[in-house]
Amino acid sequence: MSTGASDVSVRKAAESDVPVILDFIRALSEYERLAHACVATEESLRDTLFTDPPAAEVLIASIGGEPVGFALFFHNYSTFLAQRGVFLEDLFVIPAARGRGVGRALLAALAQIAVQRNCGRLEWYVLDWNETAIGFYRRLGAVAMDEWTTFRVTDAQLRELASESPAIT
Say how far apart CA 42 and CA 30 lie, in whole Å. Answer: 18
Contacts 24+ apart (CB under 8 A), 79-85: 81/120, 81/121, 83/118, 83/119, 83/120, 83/121, 84/117, 84/118, 84/119, 84/120, 85/114, 85/119, 85/120, 85/121, 85/122, 85/123
Whether 137 sits among the annotated catalytic residues: the reply is: yes
Catalytic residue among 31, 77, 125, 137: 137
Residues 6+ away with beta carbon under 8 Å from 120: 78, 81, 83, 84, 85
**What length is written for the chain?**
169
Q: Strands 83-93 and 122-124: what pairing?
A: parallel
**Known catalytic residues?**
137
